[in-house]
Structure 1
Amino acid sequence: MSLLKILYFAHAWHLAKTDEPLVGQPFEAWKHGPVNRVVYEQFKGVGSKPIVGRAKVINVETATFEVASYDDVDPSTVQFLENIFDFYSQYHPFKLSDLTHEEGSPWEEVWSEASRKAVPGMLISNDSIRSWFRTSRAVHRGAADRGWTV
């Protein structure tokens, strides 16, 4: 659960700061918060054990899965991700989940809407994530101490 939540926060802060998504796949509103289904599927068998392998991507030319390469990630993005990890990894997975459930949050909006009507895919839009992380005073109070304001 920690991986999925930290990935969500990294994606959200990246959207808020750069207007660009960090990951291409959408986040979905699941019971314990936002989930990137592609990452979930890659690591669901790990459970609560440490992750020791790397994610795999499909090579469309060979129709096989290969270990993902991160060699082309620029140094500023690497530093950004290290900062996100350093900050959010100190929290218990259920606390991370709680942070995504704040009233008015993108997850809460989708989850609440689904209690009234069908929400196909339970998708959380990048626009709502970006807006929330740019404007909410409630969002992760300690993050501003690290210069993550936008």
Structure 2
Amino acid sequence: MTYDARAIANALLDLASERGIPLTHMAVHKIIYYAHGWYFARHGKPLVRQEFEAWKDGPVLRLVWESLREAGAKPVTERATRLDPIFQVREIVKPNLDTDDQRFLGDILSAYGHIHAFELSEMTHAPGGPWDAVWNAPNRKVTLGMRIPHDAIRKHFQRVAASHQNA
């Protein structure tokens, strides 16, 4: 199933809270990026429906950034929200992940949750990776909104998975 990025952020924050892992705003984006990439490589479909954008510090989901920006560089304690168009009030985006996707996200948190946000950011800057292809596009080609295409992320993580299987 493909989810709203804010739902994945909230599920990740809930899991991290249960495990006593403080996550900064930057770490949330990077861990979701890795979850999205590995999910895509495994299932052939995106985990989040929104596209990542290439920002200076790596891939960012604009809706998540807007919703959690109040945390700044401190660990995130609030949850991502959306505007209810009928009642014009902000409401927390409920994760509602199925059991397999919840377990998958927990595995991703186990793999990446202990890595400092700046190191995660550096990892996303790998030469030839999806962020690099947009941020450092040849011939100064500008990508509208600096969006990182889902397909570029899928192909990258499939290549990484294949190289690990062949190693």
TM-score of the superposition, structure 2-length normalised?
Answer: 0.76
Q: Deviations over 1:31-75 (max 9, x none)?
A: 1111101111111110222222211123233333211112x3111
Unaligned runs of 5+ in 1: 145-150
Structure 1 counterpart of 2:41: 16
Structure 1 counterpart of 2:123: 99
SS of the residue aligned with 1:135? helix
| Cα distance, 1:97–1:115 mapped onto 2, change above 3 Å | farther
Q: 1:53 & 1:93 partners in 2: Cα distance?
A: 18
Would you say how many aligned residue pairs link Structure 1 and Structure 2?
A: 140
| Cα distance, 1:115–1:3 mapped onto 2, change above 3 Å | farther
Q: 1:37 & 1:51 partners in 2: Cα distance?
A: 16
Structure 1 counterpart of 2:145: 121
**Where in structure 2 are the equivalents of 1:13-92 lying within 5 Å?**
13-70=38-95, 72-92=96-116
Q: 2:46 & 2:84 partners in 1: Cα distance?
A: 22
Letter in 2 for 1:99: M
For residue 117 of structure 1, report the CA deviation from its aligned partner: 2.7
For residue 138 of structure 1, report the CA deviation from its aligned partner: 9.8
For residue 24 of structure 1, report the CA deviation from its aligned partner: 1.6
TM-score of the superposition, structure 1-length normalised?
Answer: 0.84
| Cα distance, 1:20–1:137 mapped onto 2, change above 3 Å | closer
For residue 103 of structure 1, report the CA deviation from its aligned partner: 1.1
Q: 1:63 & 1:24 partners in 2: Cα distance?
A: 24
What fraction of aligned residue pairs are identical, expressed as a percent? 39
Q: 2:136 aligns with which of 96, 107, 112?
A: 112
RMSD: 2.0
Question: Higher helix proportion, which one?
Answer: 2
SS of the residue aligned with 1:21? coil
SS of the residue aligned with 1:52? coil
